[in-house]
Amino acid sequence: MARKTVVRSGKKYWTVSGVCAELGIFKNTLYNWERKGKIPKAYRDPMSGWRLYFQKDLEKIKQISGR
């Protein structure tokens, strides 16, 4: 089971898998939206290399996607 959220420096971030599960979309859809500039770019964690989203980004993505 993929992680939905992680905590770094006391802040909660959403993983790509978590955002996709929350919205009911595929990873490719999320990547396409980001590439086309429809949603905020993910923060790249320098230690793990993971793409992470802030809670405010998730809310914005929900609003933009209508989900």
Nearest to 58 by CA among 25, 28, 36, 35: 25
State the residue range of the domain holding 19: 5-65
CATH, residue 53: 1.10.1660.10
Q: How many structural domains compose the chain?
A: 1
Query: Residue 3 pLDDT > 80, yes or no?
Result: no
Structure confidence at residue 65 (pLDDT): 85
Structure confidence at residue 1 (pLDDT): 58
Structure confidence at residue 10 (pLDDT): 86
Instruction: Provide the whole-model pTM.
Output: 0.85
Residues 6+ apart with CB under 8 A from 8: 45, 52
Q: What is the pLDDT of residues 14-65, one digit of tens each?
A: 999 999 999 999 999 999 999 999 999 999 999 889 999 999 999 999 998 8
The average pLDDT across 6-15 equals 89
Per the listing, tokens 């599960």 go with 21
